[in-house]
Structures are given as structure tokens and as C-alpha cells.
Amino acid sequence: MTLSRERDGMWYVSFAVDTDDPEPFAQTGDVVGIDLGIKDFAVTSDGQRIANPRHLERKRRNLARYERRKARTCRGSANRKKAARKVAVAHGKVRRAREDFLHKTSTELVRRYDTIVVEDLNVSGMVRNRSLARHISGCGWGTFRTYLEYKTARWGKRIVVIDRWHPTSKLCSTCGHLLARLSLRTRHGTCPDCGTLHDRDTNAAKNILAEGLSASACGADVRRTGTSRTRSAVKQEVPRSDPGRASGGRT
């Protein structure tokens, strides 16, 4: 066994157990596309909305108060150690609450659906947006995808990861019309081609599902047992060589 203690004073015991593989979940025959967001943590292609609990936002005022108290103490003093522990305790509560939510949500989805389709989100690039970085970090999208990957492999289900550049929000899930531009503030809209009224998130989830089923049909981006690399279903073009650079001249 391995004993460890976190900064918030919590003790953890880690040990390994040799056991048989778990029994796979019963096959339901259902498939789902999932669009992850901030206002709603996830919206599924069948219309279900999973609310974002916003654990970090709810504890933000307490965290700020503890940080201010810590900043007013002297470095190396006993009061600073006490203040630092209170900060660590508050962050630990947020982390455990988030992990509990992500575990329960991912397990329920894996239990209900045989195939789950998600986007390959560039979370590290998205958090560079200063106005959304805190909200995106508090959602835990990367951890959620990791949970889905190992749980689908453990319980005999399947996860499909589609290309991040697929226009899931701009594409009409009914007729396939592609909008040239779509503002982030637009949450509902009518397709100019077929006249269908769309909810932005539900429409994106339906397009994610359609793209995932298409990708799985051609063998692209399918993860059954935790494959380390994926192949994109988007057509890949061989980059053309630059004759100017090849000859050492300027173009």
C-alpha cells in the first residue's frame, strides 16, 4: 500500500487488487452525440440537457476570501501555514465535487448508450481566451473525455472522436446547409434553406452524431480499446512543396 497526504490534510491509501475483468454492460442499441458547453455541461443529440454544476463558481467568493487572508500573513509564519491549508481545503472540495459529477455523468452515459460520439476539443488552446478560461477550466472537459474512454473500453461500449474542425454548429442537421458565419451569441436560429428552427447546441449534437457514425463506417476515429492515435475522417491532402524554398530563392 502507498500512503499519501494532500496539502488540505486529506490522507489517501493506494493499493492494487488482482481481479477478473468486469462484466460488460447490456447492449441497448442506442447511439448518442454529445456537445459539451459551459451553460449546459452537455447536450445530447436526443435533446437531453445536463446542467453545469459550476462547482468552482459557487466557491469562488470563499476562495478569494481565503486567498486574501493568506496574502496578508507573513511568509514562513504559522498563520500563513494555517491560511494556506484553508485555501487547499477549499480547492480540494471543489476538485472532489467535480470528479464526483464527472464520474456519475460518464458512467450513466456509458450505461445508456452503446456508441458515444464526442468532439476532439482543443482545451489547451481554448483556455487562452481570458474571458472564458476560468469557466472552461472549471468544466473538466478533458477529464470527462478520459473517463468516457476508459469506461467504454472496460464495459464493452464504444467512443467515437470526430475532427475538431467539423462545422457542427454552422451545419443544418436537417438539410445540410452550411452557414458562412454564426455568432457565439446566437443560441437559436432558422435554417435559410429548409426553414427548420434549430437550437444551437442540439443541432451541434445531432451533427456530431452524424459525423461520428459516418467516421465509424469508414473506420476513422473509432476508439474501442483506448487506441493512442486516431485517423481523421476528413480528407487529407498532401502538402505541396514550395519550389521557391526548395531552390533556396524567394517567392
Active site residue 114: no
Q: Select which of 6, 8, 30, 35 is catalytic.
A: 35
Angle in degrees, 0-180, between the axes of helices 60-71 and 78-112, rounded to the nearest 10: 160
Query: By C-alpha distance, which of 215, 103, 123, 234 is closest to 160?
Result: 215
Q: Select which of 119, 149, 211, 221 is catalytic.
A: 119
Contacts of 46 (CB under 8 A, 6+ apart): 32
Give the Cα separation of 234 and 163 in Å (integer). Answer: 7
Active site residue 201: yes
Give the Cα separation of 70 and 85 in Å (integer). Answer: 9
Give the Cα separation of 21 and 24 in Å (integer). Answer: 9
Q: Select which of 149, 201, 211, 221 is catalytic.
A: 201
> What are 213's three cell numbers?
457514425
Query: By C-alpha distance, which of 42, 34, 29 is closest to 114?
Result: 29
> What are 205's three cell numbers?
449534437
CB atoms closer than 10 angstroms to residue 242: 10
C-beta separation of 49 from 180 below 8 A: no
Active site residue 120: no
- The residues facing 223 across adjacent strands are 159
Give the Cα separation of 65 and 204 in Å (integer). Answer: 39
Angle in degrees, 0-180, between the axes of helices 78-112 and 141-154, rounded to the nearest 10: 50
Q: Tell me which residues are annotated as active site.
A: 35, 119, 201
